[in-house]
Amino acid sequence: MTEIPITSDFITLGQFLKLAGFVDSGGEVKLYLTATSIQVNGEHDNRRGRKLYPGDLVSVEGGEPIKVVAVEA
């Protein structure tokens, strides 16, 4: 399982998509979310401001889940 490390309490779905390499810039996030099926912990969600916390699982277009994990700064 792929993991995305974060050093803060949470990360937004838009920031997650940039870190995971699905989009190159924040400006692309809105269009990407309207055209792409995304699930957070098994539930559909396309809000770029959705807060993701360590332990959350994100699946993009039915792909393998990506886990958000906490790391110390």
**Residue 58, C-beta contacts closer than 8 angstroms, at least 6 positions apart:** 13, 16, 20, 38, 39, 40, 52, 65, 66, 68
Instruction: Please give the residue range of the domain that contains residue 6.
Output: 2-70
pLDDT in tens, 12-60: 999 999 999 999 988 899 999 999 999 999 999 999 999 999 999 999 9
* Number of folded domains that form the chain: 1
Element (H, E) at 27: helix 26-35
**pTM beyond 0.85, yes or no:** yes
For residues 14 and 49, is the Cβ–Cβ distance under 8 A? yes
CATH of the domain at 7: 3.10.290.10
For residues 67 and 55, is the Cβ–Cβ distance under 8 A? yes
